[in-house]
């Protein structure tokens, strides 16, 4: 029986070794490519055919989401009219492992005429692509992971990693931060956490509110009706304290004989943590983790505005 685990491990090993070899072959072409893209006020246009095109689409997407405007241009479509999308200020990255892909090579005269900076990615440093591009990024591998040495495997992985290396280097050079990433991903969980404010998610209505003299049985009813696991004590229109389910349980254990004689003020936590409605969700998460709580009072100074709950 075929050992499929062994086959998979061999693929990992082959591709990992290919990357380790290429890591040591990075040179000034890579540095100059990063600098050229960083200094450009145009977009990065990725061009690739077949499997190289699929990898190119991913590289383009990664660049765009990390602060470098980029589009993918199919070479066949480019050759039949889509070159009109190219501006003189654009940087062109052409991907062809052989460096001789006909659909790619045919476009080189246009980029030269248009005075675009071109970056070639190939596995052949003596190829036409390497010769005629301003910078060449080498992604040659000794062997593909494919046992027939036909399907692009190690070579496409190497190309993808080269694109990731460009993207990450540009992020570092530009000081690209998580907040920037979130702006390009407003629908993702990170975007929501970084851009959404407490005031957008807090509960505002029917808050469980008590007075300091509220008797314990009414305290329990208020917490139950509020369905937040807590009640807030308000005096003179300001937040005075907070009572949680945990406070009730501790009071029952510590005051067995006179529990029902207690009042809100007797078991409340004074000066509870109050957060601003302008705080971002990701900042609130840090507070929840630090204090090991799942509810926070939202207020303006000591004026109650709402309650936020997050279950991490």
Asked whether residue 191 is domain-assigned, the answer is no
- Model confidence band, residue 90 (pLDDT cutoffs 50, 70, 90): very high
pLDDT at 177 over 90: no
* pLDDT classification of 195: cutoffs 50, 70, 90: low
Whether pLDDT at 149 is above 90: no
87 and 165 share a domain?
Answer: yes
Among 8-22, 118-132, 189-203, 261-275, the least confident range: 189-203
Residue 119 has a pLDDT of: 98
166: buried, middle or exposed (CB in 10 Å: 19+, 13-18, 0-12)?
Answer: buried
Q: Are residues 163 and 211 in the same domain?
A: no
The tokens describing 101, both together, are 């892909």
Inter-residue long-range contacts of 232-236, CB under 8 Å, 24+ positions, other chains counted: 232/207, 232/208, 232/272, 232/297, 232/304, 232/307, 233/209, 233/264, 233/265, 233/268, 234/209, 234/210, 234/304, 235/211
Residues 205, 153, single domain; the answer is no
pLDDT band at 285 (very low <50, low <70, confident <90, very high): confident
pLDDT digits (tens, 9 = 90+) for 245-274: 888 999 898 888 889 889 988 998 888 888
Asked which of 232-241, 272-281, 285-294 is least confident by mean pLDDT, the reply is 285-294
In a domain, 182, yes or no: no
117 Rama sector, left if φ>0, alpha if ψ -120 to 50, beta otherwise: beta
Using pLDDT thresholds of 50, 70 and 90, give the confidence band for residue 172: confident
Same domain, 157 and 9: yes
Neighbours of 67 (CB within 10 A): 18
Domain presence at residue 184: no
Domain that holds residue 242: 198-309
DSSP labels for 152-172? Answer: -SHHHHHHHHHHHHHHHHHHH
105 and 246 co-located in one domain:
no
pLDDT in tens, 234-248: 998 889 999 988 889
Query: Are 159 and 275 contained in the same domain?
Result: no
Instruction: Give me the CATH number covering residue 277.
Output: 3.10.580.10
Number of domains in the chain: 2
pLDDT digit string, tens, across residues 205-223: 889 999 999 999 999 999 9
Does some domain include residue 295? yes
Task: Give yes or no: residues 155 and 108 share one domain.
Answer: yes
Residue 312: per-residue pLDDT? 47
* Same domain flag for 232 and 169: no
In the predicted structure, residue 304 carries a pLDDT above the cut 60: yes
Please determine, for residue 52, whether its predicted confidence score (pLDDT) is greater than 90: yes
- Residue tagged 């407490």 (tokens): 198
Domain-located, residue 183: no
Q: Which of 146, 176, 206 is the last residue of a domain?
A: 176
pLDDT band at 311 (very low <50, low <70, confident <90, very high): low
User: Are 130 and 274 found together in one domain?
Assistant: no
Describe the strand order of the beta sheet including 135-138 as a list of residue ranges.
70-73, 44-48, 91-95, 117-122, 135-138
In-domain check, residue 113 = yes
CATH number of the structural domain spanning residue 60: 3.40.50.10490
Going by C-alpha positions, the residue among 202, 186, 156, 192 that lies closest to residue 19 is 156
């Amino acid at each position: 029986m075929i050992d499929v685990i062994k086959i998979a491990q061999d693929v990992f090993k082959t591709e990992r070794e290919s990357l380790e070899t290429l890591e040591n072959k990075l040179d000034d072409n890579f540095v100059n490519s990063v600098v050229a893209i960083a200094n450009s006020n145009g977009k990065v246009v990725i061009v690739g055919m077949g499997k190289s095109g699929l990898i190119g689409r991913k590289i383009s997407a990664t660049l765009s989401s990390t602060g470098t405007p980029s589009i993918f241009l199919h070479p066949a479509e480019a050759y039949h009219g889509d070159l009109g999308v190219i501006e003189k200020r654009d940087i062109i990255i052409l991907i062809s492992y052989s460096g001789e892909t006909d659909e790619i090579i045919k476009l080189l005269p246009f980029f030269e005429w248009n005075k675009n900076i071109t970056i070639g990615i190939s596995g052949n440093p003596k190829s036409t692509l390497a010769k005629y591009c301003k910078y060449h990024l080498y992604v040659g591998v000794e062997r593909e992971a494919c046992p027939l040495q036909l399907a692009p495997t190690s070579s496409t992985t190497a190309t993808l990693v080269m694109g990731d290396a460009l993207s990450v280097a540009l992020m570092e050079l530009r000081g690209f931060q998580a907040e920037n990433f979130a702006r390009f991903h407003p629908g993702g969980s990170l975007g929501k956490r970084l851009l959404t404010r407490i005031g957008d998610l807090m509960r505002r209505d029917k808050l469980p509110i008590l007075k300091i003299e509220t008797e314990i049985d009414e305290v329990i009813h208020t917490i139950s009706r509020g369905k937040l696991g807590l009640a807030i004590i308000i005096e003179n229109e300001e937040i005075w304290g907070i009572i949680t389910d945990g406070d009730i349980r501790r009071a029952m254990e510590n005051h067995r004989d006179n529990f029902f004689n207690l009042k809100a003020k007797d078991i409340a936590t004074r000066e509870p943590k109050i957060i601003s409605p302008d705080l971002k969700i990701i900042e609130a998460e840090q507070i929840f983790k630090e204090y090991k709580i799942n509810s926070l009072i939202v207020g303006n100074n000591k004026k109650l505005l709402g309650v936020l709950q997050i279950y991490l």
